[in-house]
Structure 1
Amino acid sequence: MEDLNNDPKVSVIIPTYNRAERICRAVDSVLAQKFTDFECLVVDDGSTDDTAERLAGYDDPRLKILRQENRGVSAARNYGIAASSGDLIALLDSDDEWVPEKLLKQVTFMAEAGFEISQTDEIWIRKGKRVNQCKKHEKPEGMFFDRSLEMCMVSPSCVIFSRKFWEELGPFDEDMPACEDYDLWIRAGTKYPVGLLRERLTIKHGGRPDQLSNSVGCLDLYRIYAIVKLLQAGTLTADERNMALDELQRKTGFYIGGCRKRGRDEQAVRIERLVQGIIAGEDVLPSEIIEN
């Protein structure tokens, strides 16, 4: 499986921010891979704990440590990918880990099936205990734009995509502090089938307050923003546009209801007005959705 040129086959990108207690577990799981033709780029997004000191303890030429001022996960991933050189790009969150066969099996799977993007199944650990996934979280395969609109159906720590995929659909939106992966997957959902390797090769750890899903409020607002961007891009078919509009109205209803329960009536009215304008065909800038 080794490549004869100087560039690695796979570039592994790990963004991290103040996770000194967990980043080494993620890095160790990459360095323990049975597939060895990779580079691992850890992007320290301005950590203020002892992340830098812990990473400095590694002595492996495949590991590269990059640092930037704190700009968020999207900017960190973009920075890492821009500095990488592999034909394939694998994402790993700094609080997750891989089993040793993950890269070997997934790279082989993609080569044999001809996928530009694929993911594996995963094991969920919540507060140190393994938990079963709900049926709605079961991963689909192929083309599933409609399901991607409803919820994020691709897990970053499970995914590998080609350089071709990234050059067409990247980068991650740096204006999004969360749901940046949802944004990328719905943009990809009408263009590329997603391969699914039905083996639990990724271990996802959750249930902590430092996770973006817990620390960033109003996630539906960023999903609304992502759908608005997609609608305004003008690349959808009539059927796809109708799916996106239906989901936009559904998510807007949830978001507005939440605003009113919390006494944020002015925000509810503002978002409702903007979305009604989009549905009516008005030229609404996506940035208006998330402006302060």
Structure 2
Amino acid sequence: MAENDCLPKVSIVTPSYNQGKFIEKTIASVLSQRYLNIEYVVVDGLSTDETGSILERYQELIDTTIIEADQGQTDALNKGFKHCSGDIIAYLNSDDCYANSDVIATVVRYFNQHPNVDVLYGQRHWINEDGCFIRCDPYRPFSEQNFYLSDFIPQEGTFWRRSIFEKSGAYVDTEFEFAMDYELFLRFLKNGAKFLSVQEVLGLFRYYPSQKTTHLWHSKGLPEIAKLHHLYLGRQLEETEMINYNKEHFYGVNPGDFPEIFEFYQNLWHDVIVYRTNVLNHRPLDEWMFHMEGVHQIFSDRKAHKLLSK
């Protein structure tokens, strides 16, 4: 307990609305972290599904629960961030999960090893509605030049210091319903943030038909990203151009310029995906916390830590 108390506090916000099918796994992936000095805030916009009963079940372990009407995800995030007192801050959407029980400990270790780093992100595994592995991307170091062209940072595996958040205004821009994370990270960059990409898989990103990234991409996503490109690049990128820049970041080759070379590298990575699919899909990736040895002791320690922190 004392060891965790002297380590940085990590504040995590989960915005929630009618994600009863997934939110328990989201919550459990936070509460099952072996690193105890976590402040967890859940903001629910009056869900009408089973979310309420799930929140009640975990109430003793969640530091702050806000249940009231809001103006959408960005509004909910801003409400949650106002309750954060941690040295390191992040948010985890209510259909995503952390990848394992050591994610937060890993993040804190990297921040301690790199005191000049303001924003840290890891790798992501894409999972489907049932929690099964779909794909992942090759590891690449952060590239400021590429980031202005394409948002390749996995939000669910991204953490930042309070200092850069406050320097950048300490808010998420409510003008953005889709690309609010891209806007925030670009604002960090504008304010001099140093980014670090690490090789560990930190997040599980759920990709399915009714998910926002899928069904709002053309109606909300592209217009909002175009707005950001106008602001930071002075021009708008075509969708194909932006996707090609994204692929160039991960594969080192722009498919628009060198299609045959890109196809060669993509096929090599496809073999990696096939291998990982065979290895990882013996059970859903988003259920690790329910099969974890010692999770009840972690919950007990977390309750005690919460009481002592008051």
TM-score where L is the length of structure 2: 0.69
Change (3 A) 1:88 1:250: same
Q: Secondary structure at the match of 1:174?
A: coil
Q: Secondary structure at the match of 2:5?
A: coil
Deviations 1:18-72 (A, max 9, x none): 1011111010011100101011101112322221222111143443211231311
Corresponding residue of 2:227: 225
Shift of 1:139: 4.5
Deviations 1:140-160 (A, max 9, x none): 32xx33222222122221011
Shift of 1:226: 2.4
Q: Secondary structure at the match of 1:154?
A: coil
Change (3 A) 1:58 1:119: same
Corresponding residue of 1:205: 206
Q: How does 1:4-153 map to 2 (within 5 A)?
A: 4=6, 9-98=9-98, 99-114=100-115, 115-128=117-130, 129-134=132-137, 138-141=139-142, 144-153=143-152
Shift of 1:91: 1.6
Q: Secondary structure at the match of 2:163?
A: helix
Shift of 1:105: 0.8
Q: Secondary structure at the match of 1:20?
A: coil
The separation in 2 between residues aligned to 1:126 and 1:150, in whole angstroms, is: 27
Q: Secondary structure at the match of 1:43?
A: strand
Q: Is the 8 A contact 1:140 1:153 kept in 2?
A: no
RMSD (Å) for aligned C-alpha atoms: 2.4
The separation in 1 between residues aligned to 2:220 and 2:158, in whole angstroms, is: 25
Q: How does 1:158-197 map to 2 (within 5 A)?
A: 158-169=157-168, 170-190=170-190, 191-197=192-198
Deviations 1:160-181 (A, max 9, x none): 1111111112311112111111
Which stretch shifts more, 107-116 or 146-155?
Answer: 146-155
Change (3 A) 1:111 1:51: same
The separation in 1 between residues aligned to 2:164 and 2:105, in whole angstroms, is: 20
Q: Secondary structure at the match of 2:48?
A: coil
Q: Is the 8 A contact 1:110 1:195 kept in 2?
A: no
The separation in 2 between residues aligned to 1:207 and 1:253, in whole angstroms, is: 22
TM-score where L is the length of structure 1: 0.73
Structure 1 unaligned spans of 5+: 232-243, 256-292
Change (3 A) 1:50 1:108: same
Deviations 1:264-288 (A, max 9, x none): xxxxxxxxxxxxxxxxxxxxxxxxx
Q: Secondary structure at the match of 2:4?
A: coil
The separation in 1 between residues aligned to 2:14 and 2:196, in whole angstroms, is: 22
Q: Secondary structure at the match of 2:57?
A: coil
The separation in 2 between residues aligned to 1:178 and 1:187, in whole angstroms, is: 16
Q: Secondary structure at the match of 1:185?
A: helix
Shift of 1:123: 1.5
Q: Secondary structure at the match of 1:182?
A: helix
Q: Which amino acid aligns with 2:225?
A: R
Change (3 A) 1:33 1:252: closer
Q: Is the 8 A contact 1:33 1:101 kept in 2?
A: yes
The separation in 1 between residues aligned to 2:105 and 2:171, in whole angstroms, is: 26
Which stretch shifts more, 59-68 or 72-81?
Answer: 59-68
Change (3 A) 1:49 1:249: same
Q: Which amino acid aligns with 1:132?
A: R
Change (3 A) 1:68 1:78: same
Change (3 A) 1:16 1:113: same
Q: Which amino acid aligns with 1:48?
A: T
Corresponding residue of 1:250: 237
